[in-house]
Amino acid sequence: MRDLENACKLRVASAGSNILNGGEYGIEASIITTAVLAACLAMIYAFSRAESKKTYIKTLKAVSGT
């Protein structure tokens, strides 16, 4: 039977700046992930505002009869 201490051949270590890779907290705590999520949130907000504005204009046209 294999020795459990030698069963794992792969060792994972964090490399680079802790602010970039999240350090011991993982990728979820990295500045890169934060920037990507903020950009996605801004795009979702912008698209929803544009769609809301289109709906508002359609409603005004329907109410005014033009």
Q: pLDDT tens digit string along 38-59?
A: 999 999 999 999 888 888 888 8
Alpha helices in the chain (DSSP H): 18-21, 31-64
Whether residue 30 contacts residue 22, with contact meaning beta carbons closer than 8 Å, is answered with yes
Is the model's pLDDT at 13 over the cut of 60? yes
Angle at 7 between CA 5 and CA 9, to 5 degrees: 105
- Residue 48 CB coordination number (10 Å): 10
The reply to whether the predicted model has a pTM over 0.85 is no
pLDDT given at position 29? 81
Is the model's pLDDT at 2 over the cut of 60? no
